[in-house]
Chains A and B, each alone.
Chain A
Amino acid sequence: MSPLPSLLQNVRHLFAMMRASGGSVDLRDLKWIYPLELLPLAALITEQNLPYQLPADEKCRGYLEYFHFPYGLTKYQRPSNNYMPIYQFPTGRDQQGLLVQSHIIGSLTNVIVQRIGAQSGVWDGLSTAIDEVVSNIQQHADSKAGWICAQHYPNKGYLDVCLLDTGISIPGSYRKHDIDIGNDVDAIQSAVRGLSVKNEEGIRGAGLRTIINMIRGFGGQVVLLSGAALLHATPSAKLYPSSVTWHGTVLGLRIPEQTKPFNYTQYLEGSVF
């Protein structure tokens, strides 16, 4: 199997587009875009009410329309092909919000599992990882909504998922709880080591580590952008200062199609990579 293309290429493209956008987002020259680039732009346009210009290229414009770019959907609709449109899901704690969120995320996870290969254990591994992301958004992000979209690339043999929030970021969450963590890169390192803002409430701090390990278990990649720090995890995990600050957290996952049963339990503890 050939190695997966690096998600860092998508990060660089996203950063270039974000740097070019001042008070508006100009996509006229765009020919192609990936979920990790598409979703942050959609969230920025929607939440900051930015003006935007759609691509001149008809195919690319159609692609964005299919994704319901930029505002997304707020109720689940079964996707009819390889694109899983943009969804905004509520992060409130009331029963109705929780169940709407549960419906959107759970249904999308089902579709994703079917696309990457519904082998035994794949659902458990993927739902464990995605649930941790959503739990983090609910618990720590101080964001009104979470965002998700995904696309399967059958010819390339992988699927991309992007989830994000526009809240206070992981470094911001530590600062809010008066935890001295240094700069944003130090903060992400602390988060990956398991430093929780809620240690007093029980056994915490497993979430981010579980996400990274599980996706690596699939042979995939993780990109995490939070504040001004960027983590890229393949079998190795590298942490970079980021030239663009994201007010919130963006998580990009690239997961290869699975052809064998997946023993997710071996990625719940210990050091595998």
Chain B
Amino acid sequence: MYKKSVFNIATLSPYFATRELAQLVVRRAKQEKVPDISLKDIQSASRSFLDELYTLSQKNELRILDIPEHLMPIFNIIARSHRLGKTIAPVIKISRQKLVI
């Protein structure tokens, strides 16, 4: 008998993948008892979404498959951040002003 082994995020038809959506995806994957989550055909997924998915998939021993090429740079930074245990992100220099706007 066919047993589903992948939860494909595209089945939710998300237009936009936010951090909260990652939690929903992992909940659904656990409910359906599948070991893998597929990002096939995902047009957009932000750093927050991928970070949450990465964290929760590690916690729940789920594999993330089919990461689209255009999302790989963000995914690689997230994986590197977790490996190093620190956030890799832009540095923004701020100058504080006394003037009240």
Interface residues of A (CB under 8 A from B): 8, 11-12, 15, 93, 95, 98-99, 101-103, 105-107, 109-110, 123-124, 127-128, 130-132, 134-135, 138-139, 185, 189, 192-194, 201-207, 209-210, 212-213, 230-231, 233, 236-243, 264-265, 267-273
Map CB proximity to A onto B8-46 as digits: 1 under 8 Å, 0 otherwise.
000011111111110110000000000000000001111
* Distance of A101 Cα from B24 Cα, bound (Å): 14
Interface bin, chain B: 35 or more
Q: Of B12, B21, B24, B92, which is within 8 A of A237 by CB?
A: B92
A106 and B44: CB pair below 8 A?
Answer: yes
Known: A98-B18, A238-B95, A269-B77. A93 touches B23 (CB 8 A): yes
B94 lies within 8 A of chain A by Cβ: yes
Known: A231-B94, A268-B47. A127 touches B87 (CB 8 A): no
A267 and B18: CB pair below 8 A?
Answer: no
A239 and B18: CB pair below 8 A?
Answer: no
Q: Beyond the given A102-B15, A206-B88, A268-B89, please list 9 additional residue pairs across the A-B interface where CB-CB is below 8 A.
A: A98-B21, A101-B18, A132-B46, A189-B96, A203-B87, A206-B87, A240-B99, A242-B100, A268-B74
Q: Which residues of the other chain, A, contact B4 by a CB distance below 8 angstroms?
A: none
Complex A-B: 18 CB contacts under 8 Å: A102-B16, A103-B15, A106-B14, A109-B16, A124-B70, A128-B46, A128-B47, A131-B48, A203-B51, A203-B81, A203-B87, A206-B81, A231-B94, A236-B95, A237-B94, A268-B73, A268-B77, A268-B89
Q: Of A202, A241, A269, which is within 8 A of B55 by CB?
A: A202
Interface residues of B (CB under 8 A from A): 12-21, 23-24, 43-49, 51-52, 55, 70, 73-74, 77-78, 81-82, 85-101
Q: Of A103, A131, A239, A265, which is within 8 A of B44 by CB?
A: A131
Q: Which residues of the other chain, A, contact B94 by a CB distance below 8 angstroms?
A: 189, 192, 231, 237-239
Q: Of A189, A193, A203, which is within 8 A of B82 by CB?
A: A203
The winner among B13, B18, B70 for most chain A CB atoms within 10 A is: B18
CB of B88, distance to nearest CB on chain A (Å) = 5
Q: Which residues of the other chain, B, contact A107 by a CB distance below 8 angstroms?
A: 15
Q: Which residues of the other chain, B, contact A265 by a CB distance below 8 angstroms?
A: 73-74
Known: A135-B19, A139-B20. A270 touches B47 (CB 8 A): no
A230 and B18: CB pair below 8 A?
Answer: no
Q: Which residues of the other chain, A, contact B78 by a CB distance below 8 angstroms?
A: 203
* Distance of A174 Cα from B44 Cα, bound (Å): 29
Q: Which residues of the other chain, A, contact B93 by a CB distance below 8 angstroms?
A: 236-237, 271, 273
A271 and B90: CB pair below 8 A?
Answer: yes
Known: A233-B92, A267-B90. A102 touches B55 (CB 8 A): no
